[in-house]
Amino acid sequence: MLHNPEDYPEPQMFNPDRFIKDGKINPDVRDPLTVAFGFGRRICPGRYLSNGSLFILIASVLHVFNIHPVLGEDGKKYDPFSAVITGLISAPEHVPCIVTPRSERAELLIRQTSSEANLS
């Protein structure tokens, strides 16, 4: 359903811009969440927990880390979509990047969180 060309032109192409129009969310494009978790009586009861958990995880990573692309041999940014794994879930095969703490305070927060996780 998420590969219907009537709803998503060129569905096999990675194009997040399809959801944006004039700098805002395009209301003419079908929201993938309407079918990603099922629908009707069989809709996933954990969809809100899943979306909330993913949001917190991504926000936490972006809060404490700087993530920079690695330059290729030609001096240009590496294109992560040059090799893609396909199947049930599509994903880039390899995304080389440099991940560093944003500050000394962020590094301290990371180390504290890591040591607390190792205690349990």
Write out pLDDT tens, residues 21-80. 898 988 888 888 878 888 888 889 999 999 999 999 999 999 999 998 888 778 887 777
3-state SS assignment for residue 11: coil
Q: Is residue 3 part of a domain?
A: no
Eight-state DSSP code of residue 73:
T
Residue 76 falls within a domain, yes or no?
A: yes
Q: 94-103 pLDDT, tens per residue?
A: 888 899 999 9
The two three-digit tokens of residue 30, written as one number: 């079908």
- The answer to whether 44 is a known ligand-binding residue is yes
Q: Is position 14 within any domain?
A: no
CB 3 within 8 A of CB 11: yes
Q: Are 32 and 26 in contact (CB under 8 A)?
A: no
Domain residues for the domain of 56 are: 45-119
pLDDT for residue 119 is more than 70: no
pLDDT band at 120 (very low <50, low <70, confident <90, very high): low
Cα distances (angstroms) measured from residue 14 to each of 1, 30, 43, 70: 16, 16, 26, 20
Q: Mean of the per-residue pLDDT values for the chain?
A: 85
29 in a domain, yes or no?
A: no
Q: How many structural domains is the chain composed of?
A: 1
pTM: 0.64
Residue 30 domain flag: no
